[in-house]
């Protein structure tokens, strides 16, 4: 009851004119930044940090929270429309969202995505409001071996994406992880695979790989096939989503939301593993699992719900324990510290108004996201009506600028172009690029957690199996692999008979 009263007070504070406008501004900045490849919402949050100096502590959190919520969704706009994920977590949106665009159903795909994201985010905000305390004590039990196990679960979930080709999928994933090892290692500080090139010592950034593999390959195909991405019209109206379409994916949204909430609360896991695992599970559960990758609505809705469901959940360890669960929440922590606010259990006692205003703002931001998302998506969708030659030219320029913007370094542009050529070649021979990208994103995390676990536990590798939570997560990973491979193995056995 006390929580409800406090939440009511939080809503009153969040609906004050300037507080509300701060949420709306943050949301719009986040959606636009997320939708532009290369300018991730985390970058936008980092750039926005100095602006929060002049704000009140609560207002600064509303602003950054708005960018966070909007940005996590925004990445899917470019993923769906031009096959370039604006954020790593939007990677699954390219698998089923972009094929819908190719069928002329961009508007429908965007409506499904924004609705699923909003539902996922809203439920997550409610979880943050009412279940922070019990989950905080659970999150405290996580250490390096558990983080490694969670990252490994994210990595193996890729098996479900291409169960008919598990060997090639594994090669692609391992190649991605190997690319992720380029540069100074996380524990010993020694440069690997730098080949005498100083820029290589800083490593190869996943954003650069992602832009190169997806954007350039796609643009070249657009050019070589004279494909038209303009929305197709039926009876004078562009194909949009009907309410029935949303109802049809309600199960996928519910599952994605649940998975996102659970994974979001694991510090360090974040939106990308959440979205990929949700996609993998949905592929197994859905009756249309074998059609995934061709523009199936469930394949779009589940990861969309999951990635936004991680937003509120990732703030649980931040607000209750002061542990940032992702890069975005780390920036929020920095903003709180700058204002002299220390997150943790004491914050709930010392300043409950601030805490519940943040909770209310997260709920409001997720509801407003439907309008902001549709508005920005409409703008981007209008851009799709431009002739393919113009569209392709600007995608290339945006991609190159995006690669440059990662570190303001021309070397990243060259790396991006090299991966562009590689991505085009991979597409031509049918070699899957998604596992490679996932390997580049999660590989360095897995390595860091693995090495620090080993160092902390006297090089005892059994620690991953003797700690209950780590062992349980690894058990889930094993079950997931077997579950994903079972249909293919059954088919192979039937063929043998």
Partner 1 sequence: MASIQNKEQYRTPRTGGRLPPGLGLLLPTLLPLGLLVMAMILPGFMFESDQTASTIGLGPAAWPEAILMAMAVFCVLWIARDVWALGAAGRRPTLSFPVEDDHYHFGKALIGLLLIIAYGWSLPVFGFAVTTTIFIMIWCLFGGLRNVLVLIPVTVIGTIGLMWLFMGLALMPLPRGYGVFDNFSIWLLRATGIY
> Which residues within the stretch 139-198 sit at the binding site for partner 1 (CB under 8 A)?
161-162, 164-165, 167-168, 170-171, 174-175, 177-178, 181, 185, 187-188, 190-196
The binder of partner 1 chosen from 202, 246, 294, 339 (CB under 8 A): 294
* Piece in contact with partner 1 (CB under 8 A), picked from 57-65, 131-139, 355-363, 451-459: 451-459
330 binds partner 1 (CB under 8 A): no
| CA nearest to 68, candidates 9, 130, 139, 125 | 125
Q: Residue 383 Cβ, how far from partner 1 at the closest point, in Å?
A: 12
Region 36-65 residues binding partner 1, contact defined as CB under 8 A: 39, 47
d(CA 228, CA 101): 10
Question: What crossing angle do the helices spanning 271-285 and 144-156 adopt, rounded to 10°?
Answer: 50
| Full DSSP string of 339-405 | TT---SHHHHHH-HHHHHHHHHHHHHHHHHHHHHHHHHHHHHHHHTTS-HHHHHHHHHHHHHHHHHH
220 binds partner 1 (CB under 8 A): yes
* Residue 330 bridge partners (DSSP): none
| CA nearest to 25, candidates 57, 54, 51, 53 | 51
* Piece in contact with partner 1 (CB under 8 A), picked from 55-63, 83-91, 125-133, 415-423: 415-423
Q: Residue 60 Cβ, how far from partner 1 at the closest point, in Å?
A: 21
481 binds partner 1 (CB under 8 A): no
413 binds partner 1 (CB under 8 A): yes
The smaller minimum CB distance to partner 1, of residues 226 and 236, is found at 226
The smaller minimum CB distance to partner 1, of residues 135 and 431, is found at 431
The binder of partner 1 chosen from 50, 54, 198, 226 (CB under 8 A): 226
Q: Residue 234 Cβ, how far from partner 1 at the closest point, in Å?
A: 19
Judged by CB under 8 A, the number of residues near partner 1 is: 77
Give me the sign of the Cα torsion angle 278, 281, 284, 287: negative
Q: Is 230 exposed, middle or buried (0-12, 13-18, 19+ CB in 10 A)?
A: middle
| CA nearest to 89, candidates 412, 305, 400 | 305
Compute φ and ψ for 129, nearest 5 degrees.
Answer: -70, -45
The smaller minimum CB distance to partner 1, of residues 56 and 185, is found at 185
Q: Residue 331 Cβ, how far from partner 1 at the closest point, in Å?
A: 17
Q: Residue 141 Cβ, how far from partner 1 at the closest point, in Å?
A: 25
443 binds partner 1 (CB under 8 A): yes
d(CA 488, CA 497): 14
| Full DSSP string of 212-263 | IIIIIHHHHHHHHHT---SPPEETTEE----HHHHHHTHHHHHHHHHHHHHH
Region 89-118 residues binding partner 1, contact defined as CB under 8 A: 95, 99
d(CA 281, CA 278): 5
* Piece in contact with partner 1 (CB under 8 A), picked from 260-268, 352-360, 365-373, 421-429: 421-429
Region 375-404 residues binding partner 1, contact defined as CB under 8 A: 387-390, 392-394, 396-398, 400-401, 404
The binder of partner 1 chosen from 421, 469, 471, 485 (CB under 8 A): 421
Q: How many CA atoms lie within 13 A of 392 on its CB side?
A: 17
427 binds partner 1 (CB under 8 A): yes
The binder of partner 1 chosen from 234, 459, 462, 496 (CB under 8 A): 459
Secondary structure class of 105 (helix, strand, coil):
coil
d(CA 178, CA 284): 28
Dihedral, CA atoms, 483, 153, 78, 306, nearest 10 degrees? 80
In angstroms, what CA-CA distances link 441 with 16, 223, 307, 309?
40, 29, 15, 20
The smaller minimum CB distance to partner 1, of residues 126 and 451, is found at 451
Q: Residue 425 Cβ, how far from partner 1 at the closest point, in Å?
A: 9
423 binds partner 1 (CB under 8 A): no
The binder of partner 1 chosen from 9, 251, 289, 293 (CB under 8 A): 293
d(CA 238, CA 381): 11
Q: Residue 194 Cβ, how far from partner 1 at the closest point, in Å?
A: 7
Who's near 450: CB < 8 A, 6+ residues apart?
Answer: 148
Q: Residue 369 Cβ, how far from partner 1 at the closest point, in Å?
A: 22
317 contacts 136 by C-beta, under 8 angstroms: yes
486 binds partner 1 (CB under 8 A): no
Q: Residue 115 Cβ, how far from partner 1 at the closest point, in Å?
A: 24
Region 343-382 residues binding partner 1, contact defined as CB under 8 A: none
Q: Residue 228 Cβ, how far from partner 1 at the closest point, in Å?
A: 10
d(CA 418, CA 395): 17
Q: How many residues can be counted in the chain?
A: 497
The binder of partner 1 chosen from 41, 148, 424, 476 (CB under 8 A): 424
The smaller minimum CB distance to partner 1, of residues 10 and 154, is found at 154
490 binds partner 1 (CB under 8 A): no
The smaller minimum CB distance to partner 1, of residues 254 and 451, is found at 451
224 binds partner 1 (CB under 8 A): yes
């Amino acid at each position: 009851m006390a929580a409800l009263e406090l939440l009511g007070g939080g809503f009153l504070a969040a609906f004050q004119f300037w507080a509300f406008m701060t949420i709306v501004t943050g949301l719009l900045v986040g959606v636009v930044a997320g939708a532009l490849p290369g300018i991730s919402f985390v970058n936008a949050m980092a750039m926005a940090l100095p602006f929060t100096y002049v704000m009140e502590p609560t207002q600064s959190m509303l602003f950054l929270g708005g960018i966070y919520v909007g940005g996590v969704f925004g990445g899917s706009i470019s993923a769906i429309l031009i096959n370039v994920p604006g954020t790593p977590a939007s990677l699954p949106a390219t698998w089923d969202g972009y094929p819908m665009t190719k069928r002329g159903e961009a508007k429908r795909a965007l409506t499904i995505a924004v609705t699923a994201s909003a539902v996922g985010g809203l439920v997550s905000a409610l979880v943050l409001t009412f279940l922070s305390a019990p989950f905080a004590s659970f999150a405290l039990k996580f250490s390096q071996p558990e983080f490694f196990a969670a990252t490994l679960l994210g990595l193996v979930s890729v098996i479900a994406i291409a169960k008919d080709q598990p060997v090639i999928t594994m090669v692609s994933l391992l190649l991605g992880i190997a690319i992720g090892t380029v540069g100074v290692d996380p524990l010993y500080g020694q440069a690997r695979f730098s080949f005498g090139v100083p820029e290589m010592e800083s490593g190869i950034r996943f954003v650069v790989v992602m832009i190169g593999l997806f954007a350039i390959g796609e643009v070249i195909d657009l050019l070589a096939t004279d494909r038209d991405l303009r929305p197709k019209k039926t009876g004078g109206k562009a194909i949009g989503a009907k309410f029935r379409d949303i109802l049809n994916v309600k199960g996928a949204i519910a599952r994605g939301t649940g998975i996102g909430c659970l994974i979001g609360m694991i510090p360090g896991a974040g939106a990308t593993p959440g979205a990929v695992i949700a996609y993998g599970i949905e592929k197994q559960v859905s009756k249309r699992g074998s059609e995934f990758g061709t523009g199936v609505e469930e394949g779009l809705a589940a990861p969309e719900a999951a990635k936004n469901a991680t937003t509120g959940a990732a703030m649980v360890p931040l607000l209750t324990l002061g542990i940032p669960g992702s890069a975005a929440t780390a920036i929020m922590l920095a903003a709180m510290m700058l204002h002299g606010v220390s997150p943790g259990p004491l914050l709930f006692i010392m300043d409950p108004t601030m805490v519940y205003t943040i909770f209310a703002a997260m709920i409001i931001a997720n509801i407003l996201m439907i309008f902001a998302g549709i508005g920005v998506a409409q703008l981007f969708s209008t851009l799709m009506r431009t002739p393919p030659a113009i569209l392709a030219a600007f995608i290339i320029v945006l991609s190159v600028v995006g690669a440059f913007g990662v570190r303001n370094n021309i070397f990243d542009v060259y790396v991006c172009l090299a991966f562009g050529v590689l991505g085009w070649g991979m597409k031509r021979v049918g070699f899957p690029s998604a596992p490679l990208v996932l390997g580049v994103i999660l590989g360095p995390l897995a390595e860091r957690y693995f090495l620090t676990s080993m160092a902390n536990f006297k090089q005892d590798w059994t620690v991953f199996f003797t700690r209950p939570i780590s062992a349980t997560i690894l058990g889930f990973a094993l079950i997931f692999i077997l579950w994903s491979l079972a249909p293919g193995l059954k088919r192979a056995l039937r063929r043998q008979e």
